[in-house]
Amino acid sequence: MDSDLLNEREKAAVLWAEHVTKNTARSRDDVYEHVRSIFDNTEMVELTIICGQFNFRNRFMDSLRIPVEPPKEVDKIKSSVDLDPETVRRHLELVLEKWPSTFPEVRSDD
């Protein structure tokens, strides 16, 4: 909620999603009133439906132990966390070495 990367509406949507997910939205009048001051009735319904759908999907898939992604894809993500800094440095050096000194001018075809 302290991020400068999110605007007020985005922060309110995240706050609402958190409380819908935790099933605390119904007992948090302060959260409801805050979010309601930012979103109209239609937007509130849409946000709540989206949150509910994602929560349903997660609970359904987790309960039945159905992987959302194939295991090989998950393993790719896991391995990317363990990047070797030296490999990354060499890659970036190669990118910089091949970096063009000029770029083509963008033409607009009116």
**Is residue 110 scored above 60 in pLDDT?**
no
Chain segment 55-104, per-residue pLDDT in tens: 999 999 999 998 877 778 777 777 666 778 888 899 899 999 988 888 88
Q: Is the pTM of this model over 0.75?
A: no
For residue range 15-64, list pLDDT tens digits in order. 999 999 999 999 999 999 999 999 999 999 999 999 999 999 999 999 99
pLDDT digits (tens, 9 = 90+) for 2-18: 888 999 999 999 999 99
Residue 104's pLDDT is: 82
Which tokens hold the place of 43? 């937007």
How far apart are the C-alpha atoms of 97 and 86, rounded to whole Å?
A: 16
Distance in angstroms (rounded) separating the CA atoms of residues 32 and 19: 9
Amino acid (1-letter code) at residue 106: V
Instruction: Give domain limits for the chain.
Output: 1-66, 73-99
